[in-house]
Amino acid sequence: MGITTDRSADVLSLLSPTVVYSVPGDGPLSGDFRGPAEVSEHIARLFRITSGTFEVLKWVDWLVGLNHVAALQFVQAQGSGAIFRGHVVYVVETDQHELLSSIRIFFENQIAADAFFGRLRWE
């Protein structure tokens, strides 16, 4: 399936062929997703299971380096009768071709994130 927006080709063109997208935790959302296809499918699946409710409520802060960007967001998602709200940090690294090679996610409250995403119906 993959990302389903009109700009999906534009977004996927920013990813290195060897990109690794790492999501911490113990639930079905967690793991390392390798390559643009797996990253795209993971994000599309996230939006499907939250019925498109995963949204950034506020961009809190940015830290920008030569090859790294860290973004702090306050996010919200709904699903299976529950609401998740919390801060999430995204740490993004680029390669020598300025493509995204590493995307790591850190939840402010991993226990709450695991509880919310673990209760969602994934199929």
Which 3 state secondary structure label does DSSP give 72? strand
Q: Which two tokens stand for residue 34?
A: 């390798």
CA distance 11 to 55: 17
Hey, what CATH topology would domain 8-119 get?
Nuclear Transport Factor 2; Chain: A, (3.10.450)
Q: Which two tokens stand for residue 3?
A: 């990302």
Q: Exposure string (b/e) for 6-41, b if CB count within 10 Å is 16 or more? A: eeeeebeeebbeebbbebebebebbeebeebebbbe
Digitized pLDDT (tens) for each residue of the chain, 123 residues in all: 444 455 667 888 999 999 999 999 987 789 999 999 999 999 988 888 888 899 999 999 999 999 999 999 999 999 888 999 999 999 999 999 999 999 999 999 999 999 998 887 665
DSSP assignment letter at 13: T
* Domain ranges across the chain: 8-119
